[in-house]
Amino acid sequence: DSKRGSSSRGERSSPGSPPPRVLSVRRQLYDRDFPLYKQPVEVGHFSLDAKRRFFSDARQLRYYVQPERCPNFDLRDGYRDRYVKRDEAVKEGLDHLLRWILANRSKLRGTPDQGGTASPAFNRLDVDFVTWRGHLTKLLTTPYETREGWLLAVSQLGGTLYVSEVETEAARQSRESRTERHEEMMFWGYRFEQYCCADKPGGRPAPRGVVNTNEAYCTVVRTRLAGHRLLFSGEVDCRDESPLSPPAPGCYIELKTSAEICTPKQRSNFHRFKLLKWWAQSFLPAVPRIVAGFRDDNGVVVSVETFHTSKISQLIKSEPNCWKPTVCMNFCCDFLSFVKTVVAEDDPRVVYLFSWEPYRDVTYSVHRDSEYSFLPDWYVKEMTN
């Protein structure tokens, strides 16, 4: 039954029984024991330079320089004259990650304890899913999301399921109608990074430099969520350079900005909504620390606080009706099982488009040779010869 992928996929429905058509997002269904989530291991990294060119190395990795507790950083500085913004209309799909996979295929062959099949062909990856970390973050937060839906395209190639986001119509409209204020506030996060990072170990930040959002350093990690072997990549802001810091991903630091908290209502919203997103994003690749710059309405950082990813779920427990990590992880796990039961064809020209809107079930549709196909010919060719 090789066409249907490896037999280790217990979730696969037999040809006789039709797969379920929808997946519920109701929180109660996912409030059970925390699923197995293996310690994520960094298997590689890559960089995108100022022109968005791919390099299979760490040239864009930056080094954390701890700011003062009340640094008074001006995040507005440089928005007009020292900002090069990535073209968001260019949809890159999984391309950079696929490039990394081709350059590092030898690292992705099966070992027995990773649940690899007995004798994988050379060009089969011993993972079930390949995706961006950001797509998994969206899945983790789905049971609590009330505003934005998502579209995830899935294609199967050589037994591996590739998951790539498709911009929703609503997301495209809000992207194209952002206010000038919103555009500027998007810059603030990158400007904060510039105040806290040096390009070289032992270096100093260059707050007079240019912010270029084409530049990125991404880690590639592998892990397992219950029966799902995952390979994903996520952008990493910087690392702790001290010799005492653990190896990657334990040395990585996520940088964030957020509005300063002045009222109990603001604190509650921060716990219920923002910390959920921050936790989900950093928990997935096991990034242990999040350094937050709290800024006022004029974009001045008035305080800096470190959050330990592993302590966030404790921090929010006093909040009534708050989110639960176990609901997030179990939903993600069940969604991946759902994908495995739905995806039947091993053909990069076939896309299973999973769709979700707040207060609805997850549904899907199937598209052959459509605008949704996303695995590039150069990748398919290399993986199938």
234 scored as a contact of ligand 0WD (CB under 6 A):
yes
In angstroms, what is the minimal distance from the CB of 92 to Ca ion?
18
248 scored as a contact of Ca ion (CB under 5 A):
no
In angstroms, what is the minimal distance from the CB of 284 to ligand 0WD?
8
166 scored as a contact of Ca ion (CB under 5 A):
no
In angstroms, what is the minimal distance from the CB of 54 to ligand 0WD?
10
**Nearest in space to 205 (alpha carbons), one of 59, 61, 65:** 65
Provide the sign of the torsion angle of the four alpha carbons 140, 224, 151, 22, taken in this order: negative
In angstroms, what is the minimal distance from the CB of 245 to Ca ion?
18
Structure tokens at 225: 């969520």
86 scored as a contact of ligand 0WD (CB under 6 A):
yes
Cis, peptide link before residue 325, omega less than 30° from 0 = no
Considering only 31-39, 136-144, 210-218, 250-258, which stretch makes contact with Ca ion by CB under 5 A? 250-258
Of residues 97, 255, 286, 290, which one binds Ca ion by CB under 5 A? 255
287 scored as a contact of Ca ion (CB under 5 A):
no
State which of positions 10-39 bind ligand 0WD (CB under 6 A).
none
User: What is the Cα–Cα distance from 317 to 311, expressed in whole angstroms?
Assistant: 10
Residue 127 φ/ψ region, left for φ over 0, alpha for ψ in the -120 to 50 degree band, beta for the rest: beta
In angstroms, what is the minimal distance from the CB of 378 to ligand 0WD?
17
Question: Which residue's CB is nearer to ligand 0WD, number 86 or number 272?
Answer: 86
235 scored as a contact of ligand 0WD (CB under 6 A):
yes
332 scored as a contact of Ca ion (CB under 5 A):
no
Rounded-to-5 percentages of helix, strand, coil across the chain: 30, 25, 45
Coil, strand or helix at 79: coil
**Nearest in space to 105 (alpha carbons), one of 90, 94, 120, 91:** 120
Q: What are phi and psi of 274, to 5 degrees?
A: -70, -45
Interface residues toward ligand 0WD, by CB under 6 A? 86, 91-92, 96, 132-134, 137, 165, 189, 216, 234-235, 256, 281
